[in-house]
């Protein structure tokens, strides 16, 4: 069976046009045209600005991401305001018809409203921007992007400044309920704190001076640069920081073990290597002297006081 395309008679076409004409006349053609033109202009500006920023090889990558995110968010707000102004008469009529369901809409979009409020709080307080190091709810990392709903960060490994390779997307509503810490003031130099846990049979308190000398010796090559950076941060941000010195504290843990708390002010790029150097030096020293102490105790048990070994006969 052969199917032929269905043809519409001229009279039927005219009837269809007559039926659609009231709807076509009600469509706000001018508003649609203005909205389309606004969106096209903003997209062109965003493309040109992003291309120009990426071509600047003298700017650091985190600065480029910061500029791109700022321009994108600014253009988004300008577009939002422009669309509201263009469609204001239609929105007024539409809002009147939605009065009965306004409460339901607010409840349904509660999380989005909280995210928008968190973004407004961040922008108004200037809590952080792209490129800053922040910590929220135990998640530390560098901010690589943010918008009115979410903030994207590259995660740091726990207790270090090394990237894990993972990306965390945080809803902006977290900033309304969770405390946020900004570590950007100490981006280049920071206080690196770590602890060494020792079994209680090792008398670490008896080696206090030796351990402090080891930490001070390993930290000495970085002391002058750290002190200069410390003064620069205090002058630039008008804050008071602790002196750029190495500190060693002795404590006990909840499990009944000894803990050596070490803190040094150093470059974030060298923090891990300095931490490993100090850890290896301290643990090697304790291991060597503990083994020697055990050998002395073994010899004392084998040769108690007042006894003597018989001399071998010639």
Going residue by residue through the chain, which has 314 residues, state the pLDDT in tens, using 9 for 90 and above.
444 455 545 555 556 545 555 554 555 667 788 888 888 998 999 888 888 888 887 777 778 888 888 888 888 888 888 888 888 777 776 666 666 667 777 777 888 888 888 888 888 888 888 888 888 888 888 888 888 888 999 888 877 777 888 888 999 988 888 888 887 776 777 788 888 888 887 878 888 888 888 888 888 888 888 888 878 777 776 666 666 677 888 888 777 888 889 888 888 788 888 889 999 998 888 888 777 766 666 666 666 655 444 444 43
Q: Which H or E run contains 244?
A: none
Model pLDDT, residue 1 = 47
DSSP 79-138: HHHHHHHHTHHHHHHHHHHTGGGHHHHHHHTHHHHHHHHHHHHHHHHT---TT-EEEETT
Model pLDDT, residue 238 = 66
Kindly report whether the global pTM for this prediction surpasses the value 0.75. no
For residue 86, give every residue at least 6 positions away whose Cβ sits within 8 Å of its Cβ, in sequence order, or none: 31, 34, 35, 38
DSSP 158-183: TTSS-EEEEEEEEETTHHHHS-EEE-
Model pLDDT, residue 6 = 52
CA distances, 50 to each of 44, 66, 231 (Å): 10, 11, 36
Question: Under a CB-based contact definition with an 8 Å cutoff, are residues 148 and 172 in contact?
Answer: yes
Assign residue 203 a region (left: φ > 0; alpha: ψ between -120 and 50; beta: otherwise). beta
Model pLDDT, residue 31 = 76
Strand partners, 105: none
CA distance 102 to 100: 6
The candidate with the shortest Cα–Cα distance to 177, out of 218, 131, 136, is: 136
């Amino acid at each position: 069976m052969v199917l032929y395309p269905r043809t519409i008679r001229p009279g039927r076409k005219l009837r269809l046009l007559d039926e659609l004409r009231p709807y076509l006349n009600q469509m706000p053609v001018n508003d649609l045209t203005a909205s389309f033109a606004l969106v096209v202009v903003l997209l062109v500006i965003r493309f040109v600005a992003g291309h120009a920023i990426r071509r600047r090889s003298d700017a650091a990558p985190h600065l480029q991401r910061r500029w791109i995110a700022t321009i994108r968010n600014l253009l988004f707000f300008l577009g939002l305001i422009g669309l509201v102004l263009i469609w204001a008469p239609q929105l007024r009529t539409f809002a009147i018809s939605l009065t009965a369901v306004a409460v339901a809409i607010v409840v349904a979009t509660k999380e989005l409203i909280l995210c928008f409020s968190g973004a407004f709080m961040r922008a108004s307080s200037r809590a952080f921007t792209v490129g800053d190091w922040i910590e929220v709810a135990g998640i530390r990392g560098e901010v690589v992007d943010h918008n009115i709903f979410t903030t994207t960060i590259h995660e740091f490994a726990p207790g270090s400044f090394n990237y894990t390779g993972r990306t965390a997307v945080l809803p902006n509503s977290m900033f309304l309920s969770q405390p946020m810490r900004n570590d950007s003031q100490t981006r280049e130099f920071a206080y690196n704190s770590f602890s060494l846990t020792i079994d209680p049979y090792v008398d670490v308190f008896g080696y206090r001076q030796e351990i402090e000398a080891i930490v001070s010796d390993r930290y000495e090559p970085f002391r002058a640069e750290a002190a200069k950076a410390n003064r620069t941060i205090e002058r630039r941000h008008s804050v008071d920081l602790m002196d750029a010195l190495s500190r060693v504290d002795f404590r006990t843990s909840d499990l009944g073990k000894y803990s050596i708390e070490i803190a040094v002010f150093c470059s974030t790029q060298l923090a891990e290597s300095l931490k490993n150097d100090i850890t290896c030096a301290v643990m090697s020293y304790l291991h060597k002297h503990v083994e020697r102490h055990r050998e002395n105790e073994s010899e004392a048990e084998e040769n108690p006081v007042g006894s003597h070994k018989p001399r071998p006969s010639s």
